[in-house]
Amino acid sequence: MVTIQKLAAGLALAGLCALLAFAQGGATGAITGTVQDSTGAVIPNAKVTITSDATGEVVRQTTSDSSGLFSATLLPVGTYTVEVNAPGFPVTKFAGVAVRITETTRLTATVKTGVVKEVVEVQSEAATVNTTDATTGQSIVADTITTLPLATRNFQQLLDLSAGASANLNNAAALGRGDVRIDVNGGREDNNNYLIEGVSASDYSFGELTYTPVPNPDDIQEFKVSTSLYDATQGRNGGGNINAILKSGTNTFHGDAWEYFRNSALDAEDFFVGPFRLQQNIFGGDFGGPVGKKAQGGYFYVNYQGTRQRSGDSLGTYINTMIPVLPTTRDATTLIDTFFCGVNCGGTTTALDPVALAVLNVQGNQFGSSPGGFLVPTVPGIPGFSLVNGQYTLNYGPLKISEPGRYTDNQFTANWDKDFNKGKDRLSWRFFWSDSETYEPFGADNLQVQTGYPAYATNLNFPLDIPLRGRFGSIAESHTFSNTLINEFRFGVNVISD
């Protein structure tokens, strides 16, 4: 097997963010808004503190300007509580302000009159419609990703939920993680850009999603497909921009375990193939929380998933075609009568190529047991020709074979985050590791398969083994210099080997 390695390294410096610059880096979002009183009058010099609901830590502090405007850019995806402390007004908290990937959440922070020393909690009035730019797309959050049914637990099958995106129907009985081919606004599938944590994870060899790293749904916090009019921070290709964000730890320990299974007793038979074996077990777990007392060492999150699959209804695991009916006696004279009509119906061939004769007499059971033990089997029917409408026609018979193939996958994720200097610095580290192997009894080792497409159902071929190794890692550091100046450094490595 030829080894192909694709190495992609992304280096991003998203800095010098002006107060009203709403463009976000590939893995972050923003909160912007106006501080005003109940009459609608703007309030300048109000202190705005943004706290992460997941960790309880202050991630950003800023002050409203003379027009009552404030902005906090390059925020990690999640939900936040925005606290406004304006002179002469009670402290007001706005809870549950969601920050979506590459989007800016606009908040109207209306503070009410009252006792200055009291704390007032109000429902946030965050805009649910993107009014800061013309980008079209859809953010899909963790609850949606994990609750929608996915036969092979491949979150990429949900990419076509975004406006302008379309994808082929996935074969739920196929070996592997599922074939996903997404077209955005009529463009080719290799025009899309695929990122994890804002770092390119695309397959630059084929430009498709076939071999790209695919974390399991419980590993994904949120993903978005931007289909048009996105800014230069999400560039490279002119098609869709697919960006996935991995989960991180919180201020409490939490873990999950899961097992998804399928077997032949729960599935209907394929009308064309007949009875076949289908067995799938997908199992795993995750765990995350604080590191050390009061999260002095930051927050961690780990995730593992294993897949064990056997299927006899996947392309490359069955043959359903018509082949000539061969005799059980395969000497040269009998084969000449079978293929060239022979003397009984006017045939003139008297010799057979010795290579063809040798091939037809090779012993083997690759295509099932056959009378005589031949590799090329004898199918039901009468060898030779039949007279049909005044013409002699070679007799064909059905060849139906289903031999289960297998797919094995193990993947592991380790994430770590820590804030420093009261939220002025944030360091994030991501690592994803996966090893998988696909075995197809009739795999057809040709260009069709090597470019990510399934084998032909009628291709008589020998076993094909396809290993796939994926490694993805990224590190990001953001530093807040002032209310109007933030710098983010992001570096990532993506290795795909098959």
Q: What burial class does residue 187 get, using C-beta atoms within 10 Å of its C-beta: 0-12 exposed, 13-18 middle, 19+ buried?
A: middle
Q: Note whether 71 and 61 are within 8 A (CB).
A: no
Listed residue (177, 79, 192, 69) closest to 132, CA to CA: 69
Residues 6+ apart with CB under 8 A from 313: 173, 174, 270, 273, 276, 278, 402
CATH topology of domain 136-316+405-497: Ferric Hydroxamate Uptake Protein; Chain A, domain 1 (2.170.130)
Q: What burial class does residue 459 get, using C-beta atoms within 10 Å of its C-beta: 0-12 exposed, 13-18 middle, 19+ buried?
A: middle
Q: Residues in the chain with pLDDT < 70?
A: 1-25, 114-134, 233-235, 270, 272-274, 342-347, 444-461
Tokens representing 350 are 């008297």
Residues 6+ apart with CB under 8 A from 436: 176, 177, 307, 407, 408, 409, 410, 467, 468
Q: What's the CA gap between 373 and 366, in Å, rounded?
A: 10
Q: Note whether 436 and 457 are within 8 A (CB).
A: no
- Written out in words, the top-level CATH class of the domain with range 24-123 is mainly beta
**Domain chopping of the chain, boundaries:** 24-123, 136-316+405-497, 318-402
Q: Which amino acid is at 417?
A: D
Listed residue (49, 436, 423, 41) closest to 213, CA to CA: 436
Q: Note whether 165 and 240 are within 8 A (CB).
A: yes
pLDDT at 139: 85
Listed residue (455, 433, 415, 195) closest to 301, CA to CA: 415
Q: Note whether 470 and 58 are within 8 A (CB).
A: no
Q: What's the CA gap between 164 and 225, in Å, rounded?
A: 10
How does strand 104-111 pair with strand 136-141?
A: unpaired
Complete DSSP assignment for 9-45:
EEEEEE----TT-----TTEEEEEEEEEETTS-B--S
Taking residue 432's Cβ as centre, other Cβ atoms within 10 Å add up to 24
Listed residue (153, 417, 173, 494) closest to 314, CA to CA: 173
pLDDT at 225: 86
pLDDT at 12: 41
* Backbone Cα Rg of the chain: 31
Residues 6+ apart with CB under 8 A from 239: 183, 184, 185, 187, 188, 189, 191, 192, 193
Which residue reads 């018979």 in tokens? 397
